[in-house]
Amino acid sequence: MFGNWLKTSLLMAAIVALFGTVGAVIGGAQGMILALVLGGAMNLWAYWFSDRMVLRMYNAQEVDEHSAPSLYRMVRELSQRAGLPMPRVYVIDEEQPNAFATGRNPENAAVAATTGIMRVLTERELRGVMAHELSHVRHRDILISTISATVAGAISSIAQFGMFFGGRDEDGRPANPVVTLLVVILAPVAAMLIQFAISRAREFEADRGGAEISDDPGALASALEKIHRYAQGIPLEPAEAHPATAQMMIMNPLSGGGVAGLFSTHPDTGERVARLRAMAAR
């Protein structure tokens, strides 16, 4: 667990440093300071409003014990086992089986599941998925992911600005055009790779934590296998329209299944299942 947190911290530091580097290439010392201030402002906005924004993107509908009794009671029972406050519970009317958690802290958390995942999985398997999402809540993974996504998006925006207006050194003179071009092309790619690495590091830990909360690692393993199988070829339109949110899901919702591992928002499903099966055997 400590290793994953250390890796995540280093990756977060790398993406913030990259943000400052892009600002420095485009506008010298002043550009670096401006970039870091902008990044801080975006992170502050993400801290307070990201959960509402994401839930709105997915047209998620809040449910309670009367409108979705089985799901609501399941989340309540797992929250108690995890020692967490009861989160808000949402349902998304989408066929692709998937789920995610959002919120800046356990006191302001929400979990969401698609109608597809509730149809495809057994109650035991769905319990494993909800425990996985509550593990994200307990470890504040969603806040980390949201901040990394926000900063990565800001890096892309600043890089595009540099492409149109060129870079400046500390004296205000035009910077080396070759260096500027390399930075504006490679920085967004580097930010994306760091963001995806953060996401993959946290998924393994959420699998482990979810298995402990549910006390049933085999159920989560079975759920992951089934989600992976059923989700193939079923688009999740909000995720396609807002790909930065893909990392929040329990399974990569994007249709580009043939992309190389570096560009994957999630670890290999087979490896995740193997780790959970090993936990179950112990």
> What positions carry a catalytic annotation?
133
φ, ψ at 172 (rounded to 5°)? 85, 5
- CA dist 15 and 152 (Å) reads 7
Residue 175 per-residue DSSP state? P
Q: Which residue in 112, 105, 7, 21 sits closest to 60, CA to CA?
A: 112
Q: Which residue in 154, 280, 264, 261 sits closest to 210, CA to CA?
A: 280
User: Measured between alpha carbons, how far apart are the two ends of the chain, in Å?
Assistant: 18
3-state secondary structure of 102: strand
Burial of 271 (0-12, 13-18, 19+ CB in 10 A): exposed
Pair 166, 28: CB distance under 8 Å: no
Pair 212, 83: CB distance under 8 Å: no
Q: Residue 171 is which amino acid?
A: D
